[in-house]
Amino acid sequence: MSVQNIRERFFPHIWCPGCGHGTILNNLLHTVQELQIDPSNMCMVSGIGCSARISGYVDFHSMHTLHGRALACATGIKLTRPELNVVVPMGDGDAMAIGGNHFIHACRRNIDMVAIIMNNRIYGMTGGQYSPLSGEGILATTAPYHSIDHAFDTVKLATGAGASFVARTTTFHVKEIVSLLKKAFAHKGFAVVEILTQCPTYFGRKNKMGGAVQMLEWYRDNTAPLGSKKLEENPNLIPRGVFVDEQRPEYCEEYAKIIAKAHKE
């Protein structure tokens, strides 16, 4: 099914006007189409949250699972059907709080799938609570005077936990989303792609950032590509690009060797 057909069949969606999640879905669909992956060879597994509703808008095999448990379900699917392209979109709370333990262990196992962290720095669906990626000084429903919690850096966390592919971009950089997702799908191993995205309804409104356009402009002005002059001149900007791209033994292949060994005995 083409991107156009999917749009006609499944839209309108439930996300608020200006939400960045639709941009991520759109560019994920373009990636799958450009890579000419048969949708029947795709499997999307999501947890709970605004981001997790993404699995309702694809014509892939899909599972809308428990909060924070998408990677655990996806691991089971991939081990039993290793030929499938498994993609796991998660919100910042879903991936890094409720699912934080599953995330670090999926990174160290190096199982072949694409984990997309849709990071809008807030719990959108439940009303704007701060998440492990909000950071200090952020206003949220549960931090009316401001958050004092230091945020995880997704890239550093994934790298430290052993992910063999780690990248970051934003919803402002739509072509970069497609190019990084293409690399992530081509990678054999656990690929983490963090996409900084906007929740104008809660994060934007509470932190007086304006609407979606102003939030996208913030990503334009406060990020820079790795290795760029802009980043060199202002190291406080958030770096974008591919941070890790390594070949390491992949979990399903190693597991298949164990099964073969067991059959011989």
User: Between residues 54 and 104, which has the closer beta carbon with respect to ligand SF4?
Assistant: 54
CB under 8 Å to 170, separation ≥6 — which residues? 176, 195, 196, 197, 216, 219, 223, 240
Binding mask 27-66 for ligand SF4 (x = CB under 6 A): -----------------------x----------------
By CB under 5 A, is residue 120 in contact with Mg ion? Answer: yes
Bridge partners of residue 193, in order along the sequence: 116, 167
User: Between residues 26 and 134, which has the closer beta carbon with respect to Mg ion?
Assistant: 134
167, with CB counted inside 10 A (0-12, 13-18, 19+), is buried
Q: Which stretch binds ligand SF4 (CB under 6 A): 180-188, 193-201, 218-226, 233-241?
A: 193-201
DSSP code of 53? G
In one letter, which amino acid is 122? I
- In contact, 181 and 35? CB cutoff 8 Å: no
Q: Tell me which of Mg ion, ligand SF4, none is bound by residue 92, counting a contact when its beta carbon lies within the kind-specific cut-off of 5 to 8 angstroms.
A: Mg ion
In one letter, which amino acid is 79? L
- Diameter over CA atoms, the chain: 65
Q: How far apart are CA 246 and CA 189, in angstroms?
A: 9
Please list every residue from 94 through 153 that binds ligand SF4, using CB under 6 A. Answer: 120, 124-125
Q: Which stretch binds ligand SF4 (CB under 6 A): 147-155, 172-180, 196-204, 246-254?
A: 196-204
By CB under 5 A, is residue 91 in contact with Mg ion? Answer: yes
Q: Are strands 113-119 and 190-196 parallel, antiparallel or unpaired?
A: parallel
User: Between residues 125 and 224, which has the closer beta carbon with respect to ligand SF4?
Assistant: 125
Q: Which stretch binds ligand SF4 (CB under 6 A): 13-21, 70-78, 156-164, 224-232?
A: 13-21
- Residues at the site binding ligand SF4, with contacts judged by CB under 6 A: 15-16, 19, 21, 50, 120, 124-125, 199-202
- Residues at the site binding Mg ion, with contacts judged by CB under 5 A: 91-92, 120
